[in-house]
């Protein structure tokens, strides 16, 4: 059994398998996930676990080079503000929600949370630690 870090074996495996520029998504409970895309479903009930909580835990173990969100995230000010704070050093690349959803077909996995607020979704691009 692991002592520290992410205990979810599916998330640990996906993160360990990432190479430079590979991408994973973290999503609210309502984001449509394309057929054939790996889904790691953490949703237990409304709001549990929350989007920001999951992003924070993943960020602790993943070297993130770039973050992609939907432009519409600004309509969810609490989530948008927290994401800006968490990624001040690299910023966020924003695109329309429709364009964001199309990019999900190319991610290694989508981690589904219990988040029930709009546009609480991101794609994390893997960097390198050297």
Binding residues for substrate: 28, 97, 119-121
Q: Annotated binding site: which residue ranges? A: 28, 97, 119-121
Shortest CA distance to 15 belongs to which of 36, 37, 40, 32? Answer: 40
Active site residue 4: no
Contact 123, 68 (CB under 8 A): yes
Half-sphere exposure of 125 (CA within 13 A, CB side): 12
Phi, psi of 87 (to 5 degrees): -120, 35
Q: What is the CA radius of gyration of the chain?
A: 14
Q: Active site residue: 4, 20, 80, 125, which one?
A: 20
Cα angle value 56/57/62 (rounded, 5°): 95
Query: What residues act catalytically?
Result: 20
């Amino acid at each position: 059994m692991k002592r520290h870090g992410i205990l979810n074996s599916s998330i640990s495996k996906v993160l360990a398998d990432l190479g430079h520029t590979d991408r994973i998504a973290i999503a609210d409970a309502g984001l449509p996930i394309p057929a054939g895309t790996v889904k790691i479903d953490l949703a237990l009930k409304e709001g549990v676990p929350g989007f920001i909580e999951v992003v924070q835990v993943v960020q602790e173990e993943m070297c993130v080079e770039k973050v992609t969100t939907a432009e519409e995230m600004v309509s969810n000010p609490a989530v948008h503000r927290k994401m800006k704070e968490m990624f001040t050093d690299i910023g966020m690349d924003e695109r329309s929600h429709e364009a964001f959803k199309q990019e999900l077909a190319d991610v290694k996995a989508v981690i589904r949370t219990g988040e029930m607020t709009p546009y609480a979704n991101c794609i994390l691009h893997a960097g390198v630690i050297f």
